[in-house]
Structure 1
Amino acid sequence: MQVGKDSDMRKIVACSLALVLLVSATDPSRPIFEDAVAVWSFADLADQAGVNSGLRAHGNVSLVDLEGNEAVMSKKRGGEGRAARFSSTSWLDAGQGVNDELNLSGKLITLYARVQANAVTDYAPVLTKSGNDQNLAYSIAFNRIGEAVYIEAKIGSDEIAGAHLLRYEVPAAELNAWHDVVFRFNGERSELYINGQLRDDEVTVGQIRDWNRRPLLIGAQYKKAYGYADVTQEDVEATFEGLIDIVALWNKSLPDDRIMELSQVSELADGRPTYYTEKYRPQFHFTAKKNWLNDPNGLVYYDGVYHLFFQYMPPHRPGAYKDWGHAISKDLVHWEQVPSHITPHKVWSGCWSGSAVVDVNNVAGFQTGEEKTIIAFITNGGNPGDGLGPLCTQCIAYSTDGGQTFTYYDQNPILTHIKHANRDPKVVWDEKSQKWIMSLFMDEGYEFGLFGSNNLKEWKHLSSFAIDGVRECPGFEPLPLDGDPNNRKWLFFGANGDYVIGSFDGTNFTPETEVLRGDYGVNYYAAMTWSDMPDDRCVSIAWMPTQRYPGMPFEQQMTFPTEVTLRTTADGVKAFRLPVGDIKNLYDQTYSWENQTIEKEHQWEVLDGDQYDMEFDLDVSQSSSFELILSDVTLSYDTKTQSIACSGPAMRNGIIPEDWVAQTAGEVNDRNNLGAAPLKPKDGKINLRILLDRNSIEVFGNGGEVVISSCFMPDEQHDTYGVRTAGKLRLIKADVHSLKSMWEVAN
């Protein structure tokens, strides 16, 4: 008798539990949606969050019952087992919602959509709150670009133009599957989850753009970027085809467990691409993990760490609204990109180029603990026509935690706009005058200005000067001549690498050389030097502007860091550059040859890779010319003209020319020009140091007296290494080191 009662009780408990589960699975007020701003699960067109953000249908939108497992999956996510079916001419709008609650604002947001696309032939919006990028609030969409289809999520910010974009390329086999799309932003970082896997993330700046008053659209977008258009066929493009099961919005960043519940997974997985192993990724030259990179910025050494900031452009931003991306290293070789960007400021706008120093004596007064303050000097570009900051002011941001976070100075700008697009502050310490010196491009011809300060916050104009043919991105600092610390000269260079050497009396700079060529390659720009180096070295790095390598997530790369020294030559004082000695940290196999005479040609069969540090000492006294064949690149020397030329599948100024010969007739040589330089033998001998990466070459002639830095498009058919000569070429000594990847610790 007792057994029967227990059995009946178990049945009652089981039925009760099943009922509870059924109710919780279909009740939108359950915890998964209890704090949503709005949620539509398409039992009808009402807002199941409990406020009146009801939907209006346009065109042939039908509400359909899902069947079988599709219905079960819908209910597990808090849906109704129903979905809205869209054709390419139908959509829904929700107006502004009660009290504009759909006009999300602040620095926290989560968007969720469970969606199944039938076909994607172009841009197909799932939900949109705004017009185009310039007044976008938030959106989720499918987007076809060429043969690829992406799921994209974007938010716009009042602090920048454009929008923040995250995307995931959908495998063709999964295009018509159901996708749980979650986009969340926590005030510093945005993330895109697809079916419980993190597919993309980005450092994200600013508050969500909340001044747009257009109705929220589901299944459509507005044709016009701005204005208060009516929601009619003439004003809207409805291009989504498929089913939408649930749409929900939160003005908070949902925690992981909520995303797991929405995606019906037991844990969140990292499904982002495996970066740094891509086909064309340089293996010992720095590149951003993804997206556009240009000028190096804010180079500073502090507490055992080298900091490399750089101009960084996430997609869907106009050029003026870049971040300072950020990478760190302990040896100038292995770099790790970190998320502590310096991002555009709402008042002063985008982060253009600049420099950084360590305020060792706390003259600016920002230090709060034991950590010394790192101060970044930034040209904030501005765009007054768009209401985003004044044009080109010099501002500072400071870090009191070793460069992990930066705070904008509340009394910015430290220099107001002077004229034109004055920009690119480089700050150094002058021991003689006991002042901080800022060099600044004035953007009038070739004019640069010098400014002085005692506290890094208040600056006084000292003098101005012009260097013919030199513009932008100044470098200005004292270096020992011939290694003598008591005999320093000032090196001044501009973005193209050209330089002069002279004297500085604390107010005026006096050039003592003519303008000299700093780099003879075709992919060298905007070099900058590290400040606060522990061993008094002067180390430089530059941007190598190139066309995007096809199919790669990154664009552009940096040169390898080089040490800069001033030396006296028979032709006067010159700046020399050589790769930093830390490159030895990448050495793998070493091959050496010496005392060989080559009369026609010779191949080095043991060389078959694409990453090398090579050094050749050559006697050219009995050779009229020779060529080093280095896989994709040929390095040629002409004894009569005493010049070296580099040729290969060129990438110059961002473009691969269709007919290089026609475009460069009379320039340097008649082949694919990667640069050429004068190189005089010394006692009949020349020295060549060559860094060869997958898609770049840097040639250092005679100890770095001349340098050629260029990029090329690699050809998989080329893997030959050797030499050809007209006459006898004596190889005095050659050391060739194959290099390991710098990215071993980056991912």
Structure 2
Amino acid sequence: MMIRLAICSFLLVLLIGTSDRQVNVYEDSVAVWTFDGLDDGVGVNSRLTNHGNVSIVPLEGDEASLSKQRGGAGSAAYFGGTSWLDAGQGAQEELNLSGKEITLYVRARATAVDGYSPILTKAGDDHNLAYSIVLNRVDGAVYIEAKIGSDEIAGAHLLRYLLPKTEWNAWQDIIFRFNGKTSQLYVNGKLRDDEVTVGQIRDWNRRPMLIGAEYKKEYGYADVDKDALKATFKGFIDIVALWDKFLPDPCIVQLSQVDELADGRPAYYTEKHRPQFHFTAKKNWLNDPNGLVYYDGVYHLFFQYMPPHRPGAYKDWGHAVSKDLVHWEQISSHITPHKVWSGCWSGSAIVDADNVAGFQTGKDKTLIAFITNGGNPGRGLGPLNTQCIAYSTDGGNTFTYYDQNPVLKHIKAENRDPKVVWDEASQQWIMALFMDDPDEFGLFGSTDLKEWSHLSSLSVKGVRECPGFAPLPLDGDPKNKKWLFFGANGDYVIGNFDGKNFKPETEVLRGDYGTNYYAAMTWSNMPDDRCVSIAWMPTQRYPGMPFEQQMSFPTEITLRTTADEGLKAFRYPIQEIRHLYEKTTTLKNETIKGKQRLKMLDGERYDMEFEFDVRRSTSFELVLRDVTVSYNAKTQSLACGGPAMRNGIIVDDWVAQTAGEMNDQNNLGQALLRPINGKINLRILLDHNTVEVFGNGGEAVISSCFMPGKPANTYDIRSEGQLSVIKAEIHSLKSIWTAAN
């Protein structure tokens, strides 16, 4: 590092101290243009072609000095929004950057940004793009954006920085670099964005490199003319340089003319609509939980992760880890799509404790992830929907694709979502797989996790995708186990499994009555034999946030025999939520007539448990900030509603909420809940924009998201008739996000 710094500094001193540009920091770049003309300053002479009269203008005063300090010529190219430059492929095709390391540097000042304004671009749209740096105006905001196309993943990786309005027309030192694992965007010496980016830069597109323009058409090898291009950049470009290496930090410091590099990324996890004890990705889209596994003191949560400008099928398995199932840290060791097998769809993971697959190389047991690789035969990206494995021999830090994939070839349609579990009775691994026929799933068996044979098929009416399959003790008796089979919507059946066939003993039962619960999965290799699950809570209720979607809070699943309905699955918050308890409020033996304000509550996050005697109350409501949990004793109906809406505006009054003004915004679910000896128990988890209601110990669950209204935190109990609060225990909760995240 110090040697590189000395080299960069020495070269820069030579440059500043001489009037002729003979020695400079760009001597190992593949091309550099400093716009004292159109020649390439490296000496290869990838001379630019001028289209539409780009003018070369001298800079004056401080602008000229700052240009020369960075190795410029004190002059710049001026673009008026209709002109551009092209460099072709380079004199020796050196502009077709390839490999796992590149760096791009642009020094530019826009005079206006009216929309998408490309500064530097190679190729066309996201599906064949190699690299680009642009200014982009979206909804009144201006972003600096850098994109790279990887040869392993369709689409592009987008990094972006929201430019302060005071800097829209200022000079910007923009540096993008990529090392085969991650990509980084620096603006004026500050790291503004980064992303997990694997593979090599896409080098198979033959369109010329452009400065100040982009191609109109998405595909093909268009000519460099005004009919094929759109030139929209307005302003000055001082320097453009490209390297086929990951430029080291000291050189980034020198080019940016700062004392040291700084972390200027956004302060994630404190945003206005960020859930504070439900997992969300730091940024971008997530959906199904994947690969849930415990190993060596660490809980692993993988999830479907979608960076922007990626086609929908080409998702990563994002990765987060926890020591307690509550506090999560997202880490960079994603499982990314393999260029042969295409996108990483949903799946599961296990610990190969006995090394039956033979992958173990050291003391760590092997973690094996079972992934549906979507495939796209029409585009040469592998066969359609095969089941592949990736394994980790270092505790989940890195994963390697099995070189004999797939372990289960395509069967039919989009068969997908393998859930693998150990069956002690038959001494084999069992894979449950959705067959993409209405309600149909397949069961497969293996003893080495690599060779799988079909055991049987089953149909679960009304259930599709993301199967869960697990043996659980009935009523806590480890000698009497039943098998639970559930699908993406949470609906389930309970029955017996003989090592080949699953025979349900129940009808299909409802697993969750809320509006935001899908694709649940359970952890494997749990240290205490609990069955713990987490689900995706699909919603579009987070406007203006860097993240999209969230997970439910982890719950423990148990099987119990009920007096009225026989076998049922109960789901209840895991006990580790106690790690978040902050302040506790209790009520005992209180009678509510009409309305009573819970004045002691003024926060946003709570774990609440109430026990009510409802024999003398026809109905009651818990008004919890923006949501209302209600119970009708006559119909034995538990319901949850969000803020009442009238003409698209939140109406914050009880009359509106009880007047039946139900719509997509405030109907958050309802379930039958029978009193037990005239009493009901409600456990409620309330986050900034999430409510999860567990009736009678988790017999009925409602999981939903809502959009918060006014910031006032109002908590009431309202009753028709006399409602007896036998006891209530309410805990305010700390945020799970720490400075380390």
* TM-score (norm. length: structure 1): 0.95
1:205 deviation in Å? 2.0
Displacement of 1:649: 3.6
In 2, are the aligned partners of 1:648 and 1:674 still within 8 Å (CA)?
yes
Contact 1:358 1:532 in 2 (8 A): yes
Find the counterpart in structure 2 of residue 701 from structure 1.
695
Range moving further from structure 2, 420-429 or 669-678: 669-678
- Per-residue CA deviations over 1:528-561 (Å, capped at 9, x if unaligned) read 0000000000000000000051111000000000
Task: Choose from 670, 675, 687 the match for 2:669.
Answer: 675
Matches of 1:124 and 1:21, distance apart in 2: 31
Q: Measure the CA separation in 2 of the matches of 1:637 and 1:241.
A: 62
Give 1:718 shift: 4.1
1:608-651: per-residue Cα shift (whole Å, max 9, x none)? 11100000000000000001110100111001110111001499
CA contact (8 A) 2:666 2:706 kept: no
The one-letter amino acid paired with 1:482 is D
Identify the residue that residue 595 of structure 1 maps to in structure 2.
589
Distance 2:408 2:541 in 1: 36
* Partner residue in 1 for 2:194: 201
> Where in structure 2 are the equivalents of 1:207-246 lying within 5 Å?
207-246=200-239
Distance 2:175 2:719 in 1: 63
Q: How does 1:357-368 map to 2 (within 5 A)?
A: 357-368=350-361
Given that 1:650 and 1:712 are in contact with CA atoms closer than 8 Å, whether structure 2 keeps it comes out as no
Conservation of the 8 A alpha-carbon contact between 1:29 and 1:49:
no
Whole-Å separation in 2 of the counterparts to 1:27 and 1:326: 48
How far does residue 293 in structure 1 lie from its aligned partner after superposition?
A: 0.6
1:634 aligns with 2:628: yes
Question: Which residue identity does 1:694 align to in structure 2?
Answer: H
- In the superposition, relative to structure 1, how do residues 87 and 548 fare at CA in structure 2: closer, same or farther (>3 Å)? farther
1:279 matched to 2:275? The reply is no
Query: Hey, what's the Cα distance between the residues in 1 that align with 2:29 and 2:19?
Result: 16
1:22 positional shift: 3.4
Residue by residue over 1:79-126, the C-alpha shift from the partner in whole angstroms, topping out at 9 and shown as x without a partner, is 111100001100000011123110011111100000000010100000
Is the aligned partner of 1:584 residue 2:578? yes
- Displacement, 1:18? 12
Letter in 2 for 1:249: L
Shift, 1:387, TM fit:
1.9
Structure 1 stretch displaced more, 702-711 or 95-104: 95-104
Mark the CA change 1:18 to 1:451 in structure 2 (over 3 Å): closer, same or farther. closer
Determine the C-alpha separation between the residues in 1 that align with 2:278 and 2:12.
60
Answer whether contact 1:414 1:459 (CA < 8 A) is retained.
yes
What amino acid sits opposite 2:443 in the alignment? L
- Work out whether residues 12 and 71 of structure 2, in 8 Å CA contact, stay in contact via their aligned partners in 1: no
Distance in 1, matches of 2:187 and 2:644, equals 39
Q: Structure 1 CA distance, aligned partners of 2:130 and 2:436?
A: 36
User: Could you tell me which amino acid in structure 2 is paired with residue 335 of structure 1?
Assistant: W
Match of residue 685 from structure 1: 679
Contact 1:324–1:341 (CA<8 Å) still a contact in 2? yes
Q: What are the Cα deviations for residues 127-170 of structure 1, in whole angstroms up to 9, with x where unaligned?
A: 11001111101000000110110000001122222100000000
Q: Which AA in structure 2 matches 1:271?
A: G
Matching residue of 2:598 = 604
Partner of 1:386: 379
Is the Cα–Cα contact under 8 Å of residues 682 and 695 in structure 2 kept in the other structure?
A: yes
AA in 2 matched with 1:310: F
- Give the alignment partner of residue 464 of structure 2, picking from 464, 471, 478: 471
Match for residue 246 of structure 2? 253
In 2, the alpha carbon distance for the partners of 1:114 and 1:417 equals: 50
Displacement of 1:275 after TM fit?
A: 0.4
Query: Structure 1: where are the runs of 5+ without partners?
Result: 1-16, 660-664
The number of residues matched between the two structures is 722
Q: How does 1:11-22 map to 2 (within 5 A)?
A: 20=14, 22=16
Aligned residue number for residue 435 of structure 2: 442
Q: 1-side partners of 2:98 and 2:455: how far apart?
A: 46
Instruction: Return the offset for 1:60.
Output: 2.1
Output the CA distance in 2 between the equivalents of 1:658 and 1:380.
Answer: 43
Instruction: Give the aligned partner of residue 410 of structure 1.
Output: 403
C-alpha offsets along residues 29-79 of structure 1, whole Å, 9 cap, x if unaligned? Answer: 42x212101100011100111113110000121111111111111111111
Check the 8 A contact 1:355/1:425 in 2, yes or no: yes
1:245 & 1:255 partners in 2: Cα distance?
22
Of 8, 27, 45, 2:21 maps to 27
1:745: how far off? 4.4
Partner Cα separation in structure 2 for residue 608 and residue 357 of structure 1: 43
**Aligned pairs (5 A) from 1:377-526:** 377-526=370-519
Partner of 2:296: 303
Instruction: Tell me the amino acid that sits aligned with residue 483 of structure 1.
Output: G
CA contact (8 A) 2:373 2:387 kept: yes
- The superposition leaves residues 454-475 of structure 1 with CA deviations (integer Å, 9 ceiling, x where unpaired) of 0111101100010000000000
Structure 2 counterpart of 1:126? 119
The question of whether the paired residues in 1 share the 8 Å contact of 2:494 and 2:505 is answered with: yes
Partners in 2 of 1:269 and 1:324 — Cα distance? Answer: 29
**2: CA distance, partners of 1:395 / 1:18:** 51
Contact 2:599–2:715 (8 Å) recurs in 1: yes
Q: Secondary structure at the match of 1:635?
A: strand
Go from structure 1 to structure 2 and tell me whether the alpha carbon gap of 1:24 and 1:372 turns closer, same or farther (over 3 Å shift): farther
SS at structure 2 position matched to 1:600: strand
Q: Distance in 1 between matches of 2:662 and 2:406?
A: 45
Partner of 2:5: none
Name the CA shift for 1:683/1:26 in 2 (closer, same or farther; >3 Å): farther
1:74 counterpart (67, 74, 77):
67
- Tell me how far apart the structure 1 counterparts of residues 541 and 663 of structure 2 sit (CA, whole Å): 25
Q: Does 1:731 align with 2:720?
A: no
Q: Pick from 98, 101, 109 the counterpart of residue 116 of structure 1.
A: 109
Aligned to 1:6: none
**2: distance between equivalents of 1:307 and 1:24?**
57
8 A contact 1:650–1:711 mirrored in 2: no
1:320 aligns with 2:316: no
Superposition RMSD in Å:
2.0
Please list every run of at least 4 consecutive aligned residues from structure 1 whose deviation after the TM superposition is greater than 4 angstroms: 17-21, 23-26, 656-659, 665-671
One of 521, 527, 552 as aligned partner of 1:534: 527
Write the letter of the residue equivalent to 2:673: L
For residue 579 of structure 2, give the secondary structure of its aligned residue in structure 1.
Answer: helix
**1:462-502: CA deviations, max 9, x gaps?**
00010000000000010000111110000000000000000
> In the aligned structure 2, how far is the partner of 1:465 from the partner of 1:666?
41
Question: What secondary structure does 1:713 align onto?
Answer: coil
The change in CA–CA distance for 1:512 and 1:398 in structure 2 (over 3 A counts) is same
Secondary structure of 1:135's counterpart equals coil
Which amino acid is 2:604 matched to?
Answer: D
Matched, 1:575 2:569: yes
How far, CA to CA, are the matches of 1:694 and 1:284 in structure 2? 9
What letter matches 2:424 in structure 1?
E
1:566 to 555, 559, 567: 559
Separation of aligned partners in 1, 2:14 and 2:696 = 82
Go from structure 1 to structure 2 and tell me whether the alpha carbon gap of 1:66 and 1:600 turns closer, same or farther (over 3 Å shift).
Answer: same
Displacement of 1:25 in angstroms is: 7.7
Q: Which runs of 5+ in 2 are unaligned?
A: 1-10, 652-658
Q: CA separation in 2, counterparts of 1:527 and 1:212?
A: 41
- The one of 81, 88, 107 equivalent to 2:81 is 88
Which residue identity does 2:271 align to in structure 1?
A: E
Identity %: 73
Cα gap change, 1:657 to 1:440, in 2 (>3 Å): farther
Matched, 1:186 2:179: yes
Please state whether the residue corresponding to 1:72 is helix, strand or coil: helix
> Structure 1, residues 428-477: CA drift from partner, whole Å, max 9, x if none?
00000000000000001110000000011110110001000000000001
